[in-house]
Amino acid sequence: MGRTCLVTGANSGIGKETARALARMGGRVILACRNAERGEAARRAIVEDTGNASVELRLVDLASQRSIRDFAAGVLGDHPRLHVLVNNAGVWLEKRRIGPDGIELTWATNVLGYFLLSQLLLEALARAAPARIVNVASQLAGELDLEDVEFERRRYRGVSAYSQSKQADRMLTWALARRIEGSGVTANAMHPGGVNTAIFRKGGGIRALAAAAYARLNFKSPEQGADTVVWLAASQEAQGRHGRFWIDRGEVRCRFADVQQEERLWSLCARMTGPPRR
């Protein structure tokens, strides 16, 4: 009740259901979305459904570092204390694309977007401590090549780019957790399970269409997929839980835990985003 929560990718899927649940609990919820029309539709739907008018839309392109910096500056100006950050926005692209900063789009959005936004908002989270960062990762994780994260030498495949990004999201969570130990801010990563969301349909191609059809028949609903996110963000039971990987509210060992590789990844992301200017 009354806590300020920011959810990226909140216009649909897991992000929207997370935002809805936090609003239903009485939180002040910031929807971080790229598309103004879809974001406003989500905001209105959440307000109508929950009766909570403290839901605001802010636009950000998480593939653009300038957009992220401008967005973070606006949030910090209006909300100097932030209690919850949910990094959820992500893409799955069947063809290699380059983002606004000249960086491969999946890596720019799914990895650098998480990394830079968390860095820029840490000050507000620390002021609000106890505060929480929840990174939506995946069991579909692997194939990270720190020498070729943009698939400049490897053959690009959408599933490989996505899988690599989700391995990186987990590893960055553990590296961040070490850096904020004792600050009153916790950082956790989670796997929502197989969830029927638009990310499959947006990939394009025959494989994406097949995955979308399979998801409709077999996967969780977005509301079910958001359950562990909301639990980590808001429950008393999760208070103080830090630097862990979660599935269905249960802690699971992360097979990518490797301090040396995590630090290499952190240094790479720091170089690719530059100093956290405000």
The rounded distance, in Å, linking the Cα atoms of 105 and 89 is 13
The rounded distance, in Å, linking the Cα atoms of 116 and 87 is 11
The rounded distance, in Å, linking the Cα atoms of 46 and 29 is 10
The pLDDT value recorded for residue 197 is 57
How confident is the model over 147-181, as pLDDT tens digits? 999 999 999 999 999 999 999 999 999 999 999 99
23 in a structural domain = yes
Would you call 114 a catalytic residue per the annotation?
no
CATH code of the domain containing 90: 3.40.50.720
Torsion of CA 161, 164, 166, 169, to 10 degrees: -120
Size of the chain, expressed as the number of residues it contains: 278
Tokens 């609990």 correspond to: 25
The pLDDT value recorded for residue 186 is 98
pLDDT of 277 > 80? The answer is: no
What 3-state class would DSSP assign to 27? coil
The rounded distance, in Å, linking the Cα atoms of 10 and 261 is 31
268 in a structural domain = yes
Bridge partners for 185 per DSSP: 131
Bridge partners for 135 per DSSP: 87, 189
Q: What is the DSSP string of 182-239?
A: TTTEEEEEEE--SB--HHHHHH-HHHHHHHHHHHHHHSBPHHHHTHHHHHHHH-STTT
pLDDT of 34 > 70? The answer is: yes
How confident is the model over 245-258, as pLDDT tens digits? 999 999 999 999 99
Across the chain, the runs of DSSP E, i.e. the strands, are 4-8, 28-33, 55-59, 84-87, 131-136, 185-191, 245-247, 250-252
Average pLDDT (17-21) is: 98
Average pLDDT (50-62) is: 98
How confident is the model over 191-231, as pLDDT tens digits? 998 655 565 555 555 555 555 554 554 477 889 999 999 99
Tokens (6 digits) for 198: 């638009």
Residue 58's closest CA among 121, 9, 102?
Answer: 9
The pLDDT value recorded for residue 217 is 46
Torsion of CA 99, 102, 103, 109, to 10 degrees: -30
Average pLDDT (22-27) is: 98
Domain extent, residue 139, equals 4-273
Residue 84's closest CA among 29, 137, 45?
Answer: 29
User: Band of the pLDDT at 49, cuts 50, 70, 90?
Assistant: very high
The rounded distance, in Å, linking the Cα atoms of 151 and 157 is 9
Of the residues 114, 156, 162, 214, only one is catalytic, namely 162
254 in a structural domain = yes
Bridge partners for 220 per DSSP: 195
First and final CA of the chain: distance in angstroms? 29
The pLDDT value recorded for residue 220 is 79
278 in a structural domain = no
196 in a structural domain = yes
Whole-number percent of the chain with pLDDT over 70: 90
The pLDDT value recorded for residue 205 is 56
Claim: this prediction has a pTM higher than 0.95: no
61 in a structural domain = yes
How confident is the model over 82-131, as pLDDT tens digits? 999 999 999 999 999 999 999 999 999 999 999 999 999 999 999 999 99
Number of separate domains in the chain: 1
The pLDDT value recorded for residue 216 is 54
